[in-house]
């Protein structure tokens, strides 16, 4: 008889171990079983001996289930048609979107673009109209330091997409460190970023997701801000489609984003502050906080004073002097 059957289980369960991490508890329980219920001893011993592989099985299953939500989402294959463009390959995958490298397929001229496609389908006509209207505002935003949005639309599958200038370069913070820029050069670079943000704000466009990976320096050394206003248009489309998604990057989120409050230009300014801190110290804010809580020596002194001395030397930023 199987020991798990209710009648048997009721009788023997009080002798079974609660905690399978305790060798002692297991041995005691098995000794009791052997004495009191020898007829079930063998199958229980066998089960307990396989506890690690059982734990692995459930742990693995769990992980696979969760991963099936976060990864391997429907991506377009090479050659897939999006508007007048043909997909070349996947560049990156974010929380709500995929970004592809693509080229025009109508033979007009060969120009490579980045296409950002929302993972989610939109069926509501109202949301589709909203998306078409908004994408025009972004397309009208012209600034040499802002990556342009060429076009946008809804794919055959019903997913909104935006066609953008394809930027080859590296995140501004990486660029600063690799080039060994001085503080002054870093500040000058940051100033260009601010001017671009200012231009967008004057045109009533908020970025909402300013962070190093959205601010590139091209091979020619030009600053390019990517995804201007894109977070907003995608957020709103998702919200209008009535799904509880709202994307932001936790490490660079402004307080109002975290609290899910109204986002204004102040949110961009906050993120510029975080960026500036990272550009001149080589350290992310969270890293500073962590260091302040773990490094007693550092936490006893005024942070500002320390910022200059301790932290600059911390990351080996000797190149900056």
Catalytic (active site) residue 21: no
Strand, coil or helix: 249? coil
Tokens of 198: 């200012």
Answer for which of 16, 90, 101, 181 binds another protein (CB under 8 A) is 16
Measured between alpha carbons, how far is 113 from 47 in angstroms, rounded to an integer? 57
Q: What's the per-residue H, E or C state across 231-246?
A: HHHHHHHHHHCCCCCC
Greatest Cα pair distance, the chain, in angstroms, is 85
Q: Is 81 in the site for another protein (CB under 8 A)?
A: no
The catalytic residue among 49, 106, 209, 227 is 209
Query: Of 24 and 71, which has the nearer Cβ to another protein?
Result: 71
Closer residue to another protein, CB minimum distance, 13 or 182: 13
Site for another protein in 25-44 (CB under 8 A): 44
**Looking only at residues 123 through 162 of this chain, which bind another protein when binding is defined by CB under 8 A?**
123, 157-158
Candidates 23, 24, 72, 79; binder of another protein (CB under 8 A) is 72
CA distance from start to end of the chain: 78
13 near another protein, judged by CB under 8 A: yes
Q: Which C-beta is closer to another protein: that of 3 or that of 190?
A: 3
Q: Which is nearer to another protein, 123 or 202 (CB)?
A: 123
> Do residues 121 and 231 make contact, with C-beta atoms less than 8 angstroms apart?
no
122 — phi, psi (to 5°)? -115, 125
CB 224 within 8 A of CB 168: no
DSSP single-letter state for residue 159:
-
Q: Using the minimum distance from each CB to another protein, give the nearer residue, 3 or 216.
A: 3
CA distance 270 to 209: 11
For 19, 57, 62, 142, the CA distances from 51, given in Å and listed in that order, are 11, 10, 16, 62
Q: How far is the CB of 124 from another protein (least distance, A)?
A: 12
Size of the residue set binding another protein (CB under 8 A): 48
How far is residue 131 from each of residues 71, 97, 100, 140, 151, measured CA to CA in Å? 26, 15, 19, 14, 11
Smallest distance, another protein to C-beta of residue 241, A: 11
The piece of 50-58, 79-87, 173-181, 207-215 that touches another protein (CB under 8 A) is 50-58
Give the footprint of another protein on residues 231-250 (CB under 8 A): 242-245, 250
* 88 lies in the site for another protein, by CB under 8 A: no
Catalytic residues: 209
- List residues binding another protein (CB under 8 A): 2, 4-6, 9, 13, 16-20, 44, 47-48, 50-51, 53-55, 57-59, 61-74, 95, 119-121, 123, 157-158, 242-245, 250
């Amino acid at each position: 008889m199987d020991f798990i059957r209710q009648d048997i289980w009721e009788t023997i369960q009080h002798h079974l171990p609660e905690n399978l991490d305790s060798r002692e508890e297991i041995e005691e329980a098995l000794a009791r079983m052997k004495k009191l219920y020898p007829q079930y001893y063998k199958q229980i011993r066998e089960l307990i001996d396989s506890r690690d592989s059982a734990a692995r099985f459930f742990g693995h299953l769990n992980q696979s289930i969760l991963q099936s939500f976060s990864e391997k989402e429907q991506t377009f294959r090479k050659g897939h048609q999006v508007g007048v463009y043909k997909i070349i390959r996947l560049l990156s995958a974010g929380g709500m979107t995929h970004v592809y490298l693509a080229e025009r397929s109508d033979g007009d001229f060969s120009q490579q673009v980045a296409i950002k496609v929302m993972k989610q389908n939109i069926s509501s006509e109202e949301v589709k109209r909203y998306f078409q209207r908004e994408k025009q505002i972004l397309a009208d935003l012209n600034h040499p330091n802002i990556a342009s949005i060429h076009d946008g639309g809804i794919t055959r599958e019903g997913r909104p997409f935006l066609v953008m200038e394809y930027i080859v370069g590296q995140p501004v913070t990486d660029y600063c460190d690799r080039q060994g820029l001085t503080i002054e050069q870093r500040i000058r670079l940051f100033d260009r970023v601010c001017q671009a943000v200012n231009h967008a704000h004057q045109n009533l466009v908020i970025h909402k997701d300013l962070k190093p990976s959205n601010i590139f320096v091209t091979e020619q050394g030009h600053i390019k801000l990517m995804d201007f206003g894109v977070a907003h248009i995608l957020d709103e489309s998702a919200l209008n489609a009535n799904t509880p998604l709202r994307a932001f990057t936790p490490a660079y989120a402004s307080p109002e984003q975290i609290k899910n409050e109204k986002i204004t230009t102040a949110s961009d300014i906050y993120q510029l502050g975080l960026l500036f801190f990272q550009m001149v110290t080589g350290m992310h804010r969270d890293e500073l906080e962590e260091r302040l809580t773990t490094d007693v020596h550092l936490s006893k002194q005024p942070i500002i004073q320390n910022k200059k001395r301790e932290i600059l030397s911390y990351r080996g930023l000797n190149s900056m002097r």
